[in-house]
Amino acid sequence: MVSKKFVVRHDGGMDANHAAQLVRLANQYDCNVHVEFGQKRADGKSIMNMLALGARNGDEIVIIANGPDEEYALNALEEYLDRQ
């Protein structure tokens, strides 16, 4: 299991488009991906779960990957979030 903290750096926060891109990327990997925000935990491969987090610009989230290609998944998600 690997995890990393990120700050949401998108004016719209975790809006539908941003969440969809994250979910699309997470679904390319054979591992579980979860995103934590405050006391909430979401399945990073579910658009509805990601939107339910309600993370806004400047909020800190934690992405957790667990499975065969967890390192690759976390690196890809980090790369995506760093471009935002």
pLDDT at 36: 98
pLDDT at 67: 97
pLDDT at 10: 83
pLDDT at 83: 85
Q: SS3 for the chain, per residue?
A: CEEEEEECCCCCCCCHHHHHHHHHHHCCCCCEEEEEECCEEEECCCHHHHHHHCCCCCCEEEEEEECCCHHHHHHHHHHHHHHC
Considering the segment(s) 2-83 as one domain, its CATH architecture is 2-Layer Sandwich (3.30)
pLDDT at 20: 95
Tens-digit pLDDT profile for residues 28-82: 999 999 999 999 999 999 999 999 999 999 999 999 999 999 999 999 999 999 8
